[in-house]
């Protein structure tokens, strides 16, 4: 047995131990991503093997928290994939105007970039007051960051460009106050938001939504797990509800491939058309 095969066994044992000890189920995440993240954590902890990391993780919840942050991969930007937000404004918003009340679910929200993007967009379109945005993530620490509405001020330049490209109708800097090295977004943008811990691997549907964003979360899952999540998303959408996926994701080969119609050619926005 070569080194890689032994490492693969260690990865499986570590993920099984994490599941049994803490209840977080990463066993069906893409093996290559898990391996990279585990090796990074092993290095940070100055440990010689994955087995040594396993030993530490099951005994020390603080190391588990660290591993959890590594597994979360929270990379994001505000108005990420601006073309998608632009189409959302142009094609979806007019339909959403016809509902008296809107429930929107941002699943796997990251550290708040997507939340604020949605909140700003709904305000500018006059729909914020009739919306409730449910923001969920498996990681409590990530949710806490998202709630803070604080970002490094250095990121504002890129966020401003994305905002403009996405069809933003105002002056982006009006939404935050810059102080020292950080930018704090207006608490007004957090008014109609419910933050909750929800794990797409182990938890089920919890409401019916007009819109669900689940972007760049399933790219880390194997096919079986992606299919499970697609069933939850489908069950959680009203008829004619909108599903938004990441720019590298689509519905091909998923159990609900034929139950949606594409809203845009880039295959990131879908309307649920079959019950």
- Alpha carbon separation from 220 to 26, 35, 229, 269 (Å, rounded): 10, 12, 12, 20
41 CB-contact burial (10 Å; exposed 0-12 / middle 13-18 / buried 19+):
buried
- Alpha carbon separation from 234 to 17, 88, 197, 230 (Å, rounded): 31, 19, 20, 6
Q: Does 80 bind ligand SAM (CB under 6 A)?
A: yes
Piece of the chain touching ligand SAM by CB under 6 A; list 56-64, 73-81, 163-171, 179-187: 73-81
- Residue 160 tokens, joined: 């401003």
Tell me whether residue 51 or residue 199 sits nearer to ligand SAM (CB atom). 199
Piece of the chain touching ligand SAM by CB under 6 A; list 5-13, 184-192, 196-204, 236-244: 196-204
- Torsion region of 270: left, alpha or beta (phi above 0 gives left; psi -120 to 50 gives alpha): beta
Q: Does 231 bind ligand SAM (CB under 6 A)?
A: no
Q: Does 30 bind ligand SAM (CB under 6 A)?
A: no
Q: Which of 88, 137, 190, 268 binds ligand SAM (CB under 6 A)?
A: 137
Piece of the chain touching ligand SAM by CB under 6 A; list 30-38, 50-58, 133-141, 250-258: 133-141
Tell me whether residue 2 or residue 24 sits nearer to ligand SAM (CB atom). 24
Q: Does 82 bind ligand SAM (CB under 6 A)?
A: no
Q: Does 74 bind ligand SAM (CB under 6 A)?
A: yes
Q: Does 72 bind ligand SAM (CB under 6 A)?
A: yes
Least spacing, CB of residue 180 vs ligand SAM, in Å:
26
CA angle 249, 228, 275 (to 5 degrees): 85
Query: CB–CB of 250/270 below 8 Å?
Result: no
Q: Which of 11, 42, 110, 185 binds ligand SAM (CB under 6 A)?
A: 110
Least spacing, CB of residue 40 vs ligand SAM, in Å:
16
Tokens 């058309």 — which residue?
273
Q: How many residues does the chain have?
A: 275
Strand-strand pairing, 269-272 and 260-262: antiparallel
Tell me whether residue 215 or residue 272 sits nearer to ligand SAM (CB atom). 215
Q: Does 199 bind ligand SAM (CB under 6 A)?
A: yes
Q: Does 115 bind ligand SAM (CB under 6 A)?
A: no
Task: Mark out the alpha helices in the chain (DSSP H runs).
Answer: 3-22, 31-44, 50-59, 61-72, 82-87, 93-96, 113-124, 140-148, 156-165, 223-235
Chain positions contacting ligand SAM, by CB under 6 A: 72-76, 80, 108-110, 113-114, 137-139, 142, 199-201, 215-217, 246
């Amino acid at each position: 047995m070569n080194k890689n095969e032994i490492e693969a066994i260690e990865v499986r044992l570590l993920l099984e131990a994490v599941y049994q000890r803490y209840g977080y189920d990463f066993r069906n995440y893409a093996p290559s991503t898990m391996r990279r993240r585990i090796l990074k954590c092993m290095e940070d902890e100055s440990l010689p093997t994955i087995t040594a990391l396993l030993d530490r993780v099951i005994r020390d919840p603080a190391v588990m928290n660290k591993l959890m942050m590594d597994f979360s991969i929270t990379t994001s930007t505000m108005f990420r994939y601006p073309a998608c937000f632009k189409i959302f404004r142009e094609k979806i918003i007019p339909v959403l105007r016809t509902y008296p009340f809107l429930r929107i679910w941002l699943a796997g929200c990251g550290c708040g970039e997507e939340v604020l993007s949605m909140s700003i967009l709904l305000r500018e379109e006059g729909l914020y007051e009739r919306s409730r945005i449910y923001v969920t993530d498996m990681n409590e620490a990530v949710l806490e960051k998202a709630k803070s509405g604080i970002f490094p001020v250095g990121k504002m330049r890129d966020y401003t460009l994305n905002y403009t490209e996405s069809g933003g109708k105002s002056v982006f800097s009006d939404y935050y106050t810059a102080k020292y090295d950080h930018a704090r977004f207006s608490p007004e943008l957090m008014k109609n938001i419910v933050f909750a811990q929800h794990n797409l691997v182990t938890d089920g549907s919890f409401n019916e939504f007009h819109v669900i964003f689940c972007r760049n979360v399933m790219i880390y899952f194997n096919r079986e797990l992606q299919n499970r999540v697609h069933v939850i998303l489908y069950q959680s959408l009203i008829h004619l509800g909108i599903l938004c996926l990441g720019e590298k994701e689509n519905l091909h080969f998923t159990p609900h491939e034929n139950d949606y119609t594409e809203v845009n050619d880039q295959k990131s926005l879908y309307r649920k058309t079959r019950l």
